[in-house]
């Protein structure tokens, strides 16, 4: 399913009228009707119940007016408050308000403290609240009157349904400047928006319902919309089917360059994750002093010792030559987990990026090695995949994490285009950004996965898929399987979840997806 930016959704609405003859007021009617149905679902029934409705002067308010009419017809008692300037109300919402007036349903203004007292009273006795104050066009700071209304809604502690996006949340970024409506459910219209998935907006949205409101499918699936969800349908389409004649070589030979003194766990987990993702052979290259330890720890992973210039540290010209030659015998190369940040290690990483002619995945310390020279990514012989968390991404681009949070989608997209690389940006909603401008949002994962080593498992999962499917698509399936494995682990472990639990659930995640594919 596509995810639209605000400007893209506006174009979709415009084309619905100009190309398909679907006027704005018809789409507003559909949106209001579906919103009323969502409120009925939220409350179980609306008959005999009191619904407090807050409507702005824009189209979001028009949707709320329509919903009010349907809720009233279903037997609800509706209390409607106009939070915008009545002189600025747009044409379509004005028509919907006129219908309410003709039905004898008053719309109260919010011009002063007396009106606020009326709103407080309505909220106190409400069974449910409908937020139609601000739509997806909101950016910046709430007007004082609107901020007060939002604070009253949140203080009421009643079930809240938001139309399109909770008021106060920026739709393109998920940003919240001061406060925003805390919704239990959000009915988003046409397509979902980035702010539904990115924090803090995601925490305000509650359960998300996406309704096309009658917009032609051709518009909602337009190739010009470059954002998309990594949902079950996409993951099933990507999942490789293993032929009966498969053998370990045909399933992928993955070279992992990882580990340093004190960080052998990262090397072990990413190597095992590659196997659990279904690849046939994994060879882990480590400093020679660490090889005996990892050889005992990893029964199914082959280990190869590389001469070290410093105990427990990879680096030097000889190591670079050996690893470049060795990479020719493998289908993909993963560099970075637990590799360390020694100067000589950074030099080795930068040399390998330019020399290795295989699908290449850079994680953790391999990304750190590029902080002074990110432009080296453009010299890679094949499009590299990077799997940074927000701190690593900020360091790579010379930004702060706060800068990234201002526009995660835009920054990831621009970086992918600039450096000709695929970025898997790990956050509460992991993004996958491609050089051609496409950005994908994960639909799996949970807060319990905020644990050391989870990223190492993700890197290994992606690397393990790079021979089984087109390497450029491996990040999409890898992110989905990793998140699904985390969700399976969360069912049992919750906040006690550790990276090894995610690793252990990877086969079950893949089998679950296979079973869904057969239905």
d(CA 420, CA 384): 8
d(CA 459, CA 464): 9
pLDDT at 517: 81
**Residue 414 in contact with residue 393, Cβ under 8 Å?**
no
Query: pLDDT (tens digit, 9 = 90+) per residue, 172-221?
Result: 999 999 999 999 999 999 999 999 999 999 999 999 999 999 999 999 99
Q: Which fold has domain 2-225?
A: Rossmann fold (3.40.50)
Q: What DSSP string describes 479-512?
A: HHHHHHHHHHHHHHHGGG--HHHHHHHHHHHHHH
Per DSSP, the three-state class of 354 is helix
Q: Which fold has domain 248-426+450-475?
A: 3.40.1190
Query: pLDDT (tens digit, 9 = 90+) per residue, 338-390?
Result: 999 999 999 999 999 999 999 999 999 999 999 999 999 999 999 999 999 99
For the chain, domain boundaries: 2-225, 248-426+450-475
CA dihedral 387, 392, 395, 398 (to 10 degrees): 50
The residue count for the chain:
519
Query: pLDDT (tens digit, 9 = 90+) per residue, 121-177?
Result: 999 999 999 999 999 999 999 999 999 999 999 999 999 999 999 999 999 999 999
In terms of pTM, does the model score above 0.85?
A: yes
Structure tokens at 109: 């203004």
Query: pLDDT (tens digit, 9 = 90+) per residue, 236-295?
Result: 999 999 989 999 999 999 999 999 999 999 999 999 999 999 999 999 999 999 999 999
pLDDT at 320: 96
The string over 56-73, giving b where at least 16 C-beta atoms fall within 10 Å of a residue's C-beta and e elsewhere, is: bbbbbbbbbbbbbbbbbe
Residue 518 has pLDDT above 80, yes or no: no
What's the pLDDT band for 444 if we cut at 50, 70, 90? very high
* 462 vs 519, higher pLDDT: 462
Query: pLDDT (tens digit, 9 = 90+) per residue, 449-472?
Result: 999 999 999 999 999 999 999 999
What are the two backbone dihedrals, phi and then psi, of residue 315, each rounded to the nearest 5 degrees?
Answer: 165, 170
**Residue 56 in contact with residue 132, Cβ under 8 Å?**
yes
Write the DSSP symbol of residue 204: H
């Amino acid at each position: 399913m596509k995810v639209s930016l605000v400007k893209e959704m506006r174009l979709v609405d415009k084309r619905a009228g100009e190309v398909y003859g679907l006027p704005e007021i018809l789409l507003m009617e559909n949106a209001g009707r579906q919103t009323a149905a969502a409120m009925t679902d939220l409350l179980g029934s609306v008959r005999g119940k009191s619904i407090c409705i807050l409507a702005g002067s824009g189209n979001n308010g028009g949707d709320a007016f329509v919903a009010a009419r349907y809720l009233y017809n279903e037997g609800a008692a509706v209390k409607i408050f106009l939070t915008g300037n009545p002189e600025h109300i747009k044409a379509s919402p004005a028509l919907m308000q006129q219908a309410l007036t003709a039905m004898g349903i008053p719309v109260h203004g919010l011009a002063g403290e007396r009106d606020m007292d009326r709103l407080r009273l309505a909220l106190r006795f409400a069974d449910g609240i409908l937020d139609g104050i601000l739509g997806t066009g909101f950016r910046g700071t709430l007007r004082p009157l609107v901020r007060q209304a939002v604070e009253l809604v949140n203080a009421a502690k009643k079930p809240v349904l938001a139309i399109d996006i909770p008021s106060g949340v920026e739709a393109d970024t998920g940003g919240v400047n001061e406060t925003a409506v805390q919704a239990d459910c959000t009915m988003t219209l046409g397509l979902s928006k980035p702010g539904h998935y990115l924090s803090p907006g995601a925490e305000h949205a509650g359960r998300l319902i996406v309704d096309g409101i009658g917009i032609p499918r051709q518009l909602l699936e337009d190739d010009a919309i470059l954002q998309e969800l990594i949902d079950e349908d996409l993951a099933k389409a990507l999942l490789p089917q293993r032929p009966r004649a498969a053998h370990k070589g045909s399933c992928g030979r993955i070279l992992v360059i990882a580990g340093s003194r004190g960080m052998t766990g990262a090397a072990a987990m990413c190597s095992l994750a590659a196997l659990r993702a279904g690849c046939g052979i994994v060879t882990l290259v480590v400093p020679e002093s660490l090889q005996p330890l990892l050889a005992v720890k990893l029964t199914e992973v082959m280990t190869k010792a590389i001469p070290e210039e410093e105990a427990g540290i990879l680096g030097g010209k000889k190591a670079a030559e050996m690893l470049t030659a060795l990479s020719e015998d493998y289908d993909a190369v993963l560099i970075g987990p637990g590799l360390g940040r020694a100067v000589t290690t950074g030099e080795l990483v930068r040399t390998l990026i330019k020399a290795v002619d295989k699908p290449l995945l850079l994680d953790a310390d391999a990304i750190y090695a590029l902080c002074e020279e990110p432009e080296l990514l453009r010299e890679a012989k094949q499009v590299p995949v990077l799997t940074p968390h927000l701190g690593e991404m900020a360091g790579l681009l010379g930004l702060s994490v706060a800068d990234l949070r201002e526009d995660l989608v835009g920054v990831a997209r621009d970086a992918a285009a600039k450096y000709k690389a695929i970025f898997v940006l790990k956050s509460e909603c992991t993004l996958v950004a491609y050089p051609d401008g496409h950005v994908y949002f994960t639909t799996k994962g949970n807060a319990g996965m905020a644990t050391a080593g989870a990223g190492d498992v993700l890197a290994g999962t992606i690397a393990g898929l790079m021979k089984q499917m087109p390497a450029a698509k491996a990040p999409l399936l890898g992110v989905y399987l990793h998140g699904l494995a985390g969700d399976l682990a969360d069912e049992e472990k919750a906040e006690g979840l550790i990276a090894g639990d995610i690793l252990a659930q990877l086969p079950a995640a893949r089998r679950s997806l296979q079973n869904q594919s057969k239905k």
